[in-house]
A and B are shown apart, each in its own frame.
Chain A
Amino acid sequence: MVFNSDIFLFAFLPIVFVLFWTMRSKQSRYVIMTVAGYVFYGYWNWHFCFLLLFSSLVSFTAGNLMTRVRSGRAKRTIVALTVGTDLTLLGFFKYYDFLVRSVSSLLPGVHLPLLDIVLPIGISFYTFHTISYVIDVSAGRVRATRNLFEYLTYVSLFSQLVAGPIVRFRQIEEDLEHLDGPPREDWVARGIAFFVIGLIKKVMIADHIASDINPMLQHVGSMTVIEAWVAALGYTCQLYFDFSGYSDMAVGLGLLFGLRIPQNFNSPYWALGITDFWRRWHISLSSWLRDYLYFPLGGNRCGTAMMFRNLMIVMLLGGLWHGANWTFVVWGGYHGLLLVLDRIGTPFYTKLPRHVYQLQTFLLVVVGWVLFRSSTFGMALQWLRHMFVGPVGSLATVTHAAAWTAVALVIAATMPEAWEMRFGTSRRWAVLWGVLFVTTYFFMNGKESVFLYYQF
């Protein structure tokens, strides 16, 4: 089920909303949210609900076990076993076939069976949820919950189950504890605003651009320089509006149910340097990688060389997290390298005029998205080559795509994130969001499209 579908907007959401606010007790609301999460997830493939449940039960049990043991060694063992289980599941479902193909191409004599495994959507996200919970409990950053349904609500929260943001238990623990509170007018108003803004980003901008550039990318080999740039910039906008739109909708849905989901985007294309970019793009992932991978590796406390090594490891693994393809790994490595260069060159970069530094960062990110979008290295190299070499071509052949991309770029460069906007709770605001919602529906009616990050 996707947020921009009739079944979600006109059946699932209203039913869950009414049931949730009709129930008074915290426990019944946990149960409603858990059931809703599993229905939402199972609508795609109910078999994988068992995997989600298993992963949740393992980490829930681990959390409770850790409250009973005192020795640090025992805790570490529990963490290792739980994280090992989670990563084994993730590794098997997401990376097994990828590994087999890679081994076969490297060692032609080795024949491992391909299993053609269907990737359970959202597994990358909920695995990170459960891992962060177990590590936080072991580190004493969060108290393990004894309420199974509270924990299941956290892991299976439909607003962020399949494509994030990657919410840590401690970030919504307080709201979960007060889930039996009455609805707050300002949260509901803000929730509707966030949801509608996210819907507009997805339907009216991201999907519109996608319909133009996807056909172009089927003929990467014959693109002109202008077409290659329009496609690259178009995808840059599509990805941002698609994913930040999804994140806004997730935040909005959370608020409708009394849960404050943290910010995931902060105008990333305004970033000053790659380090700054990663503080603004997919914030929940980059901060997760920082806290649960970069810091444990030593972070920047063990000297410059180790810091660079750590950055590279984190970004390579971050790239691999996005998908079982070497293009993602290389994309991660590319960003790791840019982070290293950013650290080295900071004294120089900070002397650059602000807009020049921003533009340089943006262009480096655009080049990275070419790798990210390409299904093969061949495609990426061809696309990159056509961006700089070959016939220049004419804008006339891609007028529509170029115009929409330009509009999207202007919006991305000038409009603040929903987080920075102030929304009122008056009737006028309600009417405004009503008008915008119906208008947006005109553009999505009959055209259900999934979010790009569902595939990760």
Chain B
Amino acid sequence: MKFLRSFLASVAIIVLIYVTAVVIVNPRGEFPSRRFPWIIPNSRRVKVELFRAAMQSGPVRGIVLGSSRSMTLAPAALSAASSERFFNFAVFSSTIEDHLAILRFVIRSGAPLDNVIVGLDQDALAPGTPLRELTTNIDLATALRGESPTTVRRVMNWAQMVKAAFTPYYAANLGRSVDLAFAPEVPINVFGPDGSLRYVRWDAQIASGTYDGAGAFAECRRKQLELADTNAGHTLDSARTARFEELLRVADSVGAHVTVWLPPYHPALLQVLAARPPDQAALVALRTTVIELTRRYNANFIDLTNPAAFGAVDSWYDCVHYGDANAARIIATLIPVKR
């Protein structure tokens, strides 16, 4: 069995080397190491850590939930308007499960919440399943299930994260992260300590006039239409609608006021979507349901799908992600209610 021992030893050594590299390089920000730059950060993991750090310097009284389309809402501006400390807990490709899990996690962390701002993407209540980033996040996954993370669960979760690193995609990210450490370049985005996101590379490119806005818009349009096609013909998912109602109930139970808003589309994309009856029907169905539920729980509802609703200016990265000028205008319409 000498051959078998050599085979198993070589497998073990390769695995050990790779796992060590993953933990040290940490290309997605999932492990404690911060020696190398992140490539497409695991926003759920990163935000949980940032939130914990934020809570150590004082209670957070307001949170922003949502997807990347809510990430640029600056907590500082919200705090200035409400005199309350905000944290932006929006995560990439969020689903309604993320919103509920994060809300429960924040409450479990002892934050005395007064305000919850929920940016609900137009497909938020369409059928689908939560992302692996959520289901493998011990803090959020247990919060979603209403459980507490035990040591065994944390170990299992760590093992799951390590196992998930064994993909070509992750290995490429790892390589890219090492590459960037030796040949630094401006990262695409950076999270601030208050959870807000800044697209630093794009901002620099816009400032220097090298940003490919048309290309970014075309790619974004393609993805949005693909997403719309996927959701076309589907009614709202009853389980996800129930999750949304649960979110309103949980917030209500701790006395937090909820503002639900629908993020804007670029005017050109809005025009395209307006000519597609299934998309309009889906939007109407979402709006109707959200209005009914927010009314039931005394929450605010603001529809900013049409950028004219907040007086948008020409400040867009692509067809759904907006720049600071529009973020400021959106915040002005979302000024939280102080209780």
Contacts and interface: CB of A to CB of B under 8 A. Distances in A.
Contact of A437 (B11, B167, B168): B11
Interface string B186-204: 0000000000000000000
Contacts of A21: 1
Nearest to A437: B11
B15 interface: yes
Given A188-B4, A192-B4, A445-B163, A431 B10 contact: yes
B1 A445 contact: no
Nearest to A21: B1
Nearest to B10: A434
Contacts of A443: 167-168
Given A438-B15, A441-B166, A445-B167, A430 B10 contact: yes
Interface string B1-38: 11110111111011100100000000000000000000
Looking at chain B's contact residues, is the secondary structure mostly helix, strand, loop, or mixed?
Answer: helix
Contacts of A438: 11, 14-15, 18
A433 interface: yes
A135 to B, nearest CB: 38
Interface in A376-432: 425, 427, 429-431
Interface string B168-186: 1001000000000000000
Given A183-B1, A185-B1, A188-B1, A431 B6 contact: yes
Contacts of A192: 3-4, 7
Given A185-B2, A443-B168, A445-B163, A435 B7 contact: no
B164 interface: yes
A353 interface: no
Contacts, number: 56
Nearest to A428: B6
Contact of A442 (B8, B13, B166): B166
Nearest to B171: A442
A53 to B, nearest CB: 32
B10 A442 contact: no
Nearest to B163: A445
Interface residues of A, number: 21
Interface in A160-190: 183, 185, 188-189
A113 interface: no
A189 B11 contact: no
B6 A427 contact: yes
A431 B6 CA distance: 7
A347 interface: no
A437 B14 CA distance: 10
Give the residue among B4, B8, B166, B168 with the most A Cβ atoms within 10 A: B4
Contacts of B2: 185
A435 B14 contact: yes
Contacts of A427: 3, 6
Contacts of A431: 6-7, 10
A446 interface: yes
Contacts of B164: 445-446
A59 to B, nearest CB: 35
A434 B166 contact: no
B170 to A, nearest CB: 8
20 contacts: A185-B3, A425-B3, A429-B3, A430-B3, A430-B10, A431-B6, A431-B7, A431-B10, A433-B7, A433-B10, A434-B8, A434-B13, A434-B14, A435-B14, A437-B7, A437-B11, A438-B14, A441-B166, A445-B167, A446-B167
Interface of A: 21, 183, 185, 188-189, 192, 425, 427, 429-431, 433-435, 437-438, 441-443, 445-446
4 closest A-B pairs (Cβ-Cβ)? A434-B10, A430-B6, A430-B7, A431-B10
